[in-house]
Amino acid sequence: MMKSFFLSLLVGLLFSKNYVKPTEIDGKKKWKGEGTTPNLESIVIGRCYEYIRIKNCTEIWEAFRKAFINKDPCNILPSDYELFINLALHTIPPNKSLFWENNHLLVTSYSDRTRRYMPLCDTLIGSFGDFLNWCGQANDTGFNYDSCPNTEECENNAVESFWKIASITYAKQSSGVIYVMLNGSAIGGAYPVKGFFADYEVPNFQKDRISRIEIWVMDDIGGPDLDSCGRGSVQILEERLKTMGYDITCIDNYK
């Protein structure tokens, strides 16, 4: 299922120009981003066992770790996580997928730990990366706890590539009614025309599996109403989805 994606993506990302040479301190590269989260292995294996008991969490962890360990931290591709994705993949129930931009905490509150919805961060794949950071370094089998490259320094870093393939997989697995939560108070627009949702999720929706798309535009409590259904960036999203042939509805401040 994923093979054609990996092959096409590999060619494009191998020639990425977004690379900034890091500074060096005592001969060691110093990146601008946060280093690997302390106790990363214990955290993600713990999350895995808490999440699901029919998977081999140790095997999944090893596949995750091997995607970026002992490699140039600016040359990690989404395809490097292929084995991890295949091992951690599970069914997403119809009518449970919840996509979002700029409102992570509100999304997790609405999802209620998959009781109501199942956003990417509440899948087993997403749980491995949610609020965590990680990277390795070339010719070293350990983690870099001091610093990791951010997207400004290089696009093909371990975290960015992880969320790209996780987003693509989640979109392809989603079915039934699809829900999208956007932040109407976000500076720059509720729907970023460049972002994970726009670039990796929307293009990978499976039209024959989706019955309807429902957009919720949620303003911050006490925040400005900068974007809403039928105007601004939300209108751009509505028109894009309609052009793709989807039946859509949009609700301001869904409750």
Residue type (1 letter), 161: S
* Domains assigned to the chain: 31-252 (3.40.50.720)
* Whole-angstrom distance, CA of residue 99 vs CA of residue 206: 14
User: Are the beta carbons of 234 and 228 closer than 8 angstroms?
Assistant: yes
Helix (H, G, I), strand (E, B) or coil at 111: helix
User: Are the beta carbons of 132 and 40 closer than 8 angstroms?
Assistant: yes
**pLDDT tens string for the chain (255 positions)?**
444 444 444 444 444 444 455 666 554 578 999 999 999 999 999 999 998 888 999 999 999 999 999 999 999 999 999 999 999 999 999 999 999 999 999 999 999 888 999 999 999 999 999 999 999 999 999 999 999 999 999 999 999 999 999 999 999 999 999 999 999 999 999 999 999 999 999 999 999 999 999 999 999 988 899 999 999 999 999 999 999 999 999 999 886
* Whole-angstrom distance, CA of residue 197 vs CA of residue 199: 6
Tens of pLDDT, residue by residue over 82-124, are: 999 999 999 999 999 999 999 999 999 999 888 999 999 999 9
Predicted local distance difference test score (pLDDT) of residue 149: 98
Give the H/E segment covering residue 212: strand 210-218
Q: Give, as one character, the DSSP assignment of residue 147.
A: E
Whether the CA torsion 187, 190, 193, 195 is positive or negative: it is positive
* Whole-angstrom distance, CA of residue 173 vs CA of residue 209: 9
Query: Nearest to residue 88, comparing CAs of 50, 108, 61?
Result: 61
Predicted local distance difference test score (pLDDT) of residue 25: 52
Secondary-structure breakdown of the chain: helix, strand, coil percentages, each rounded to the nearest 5? 40, 15, 45
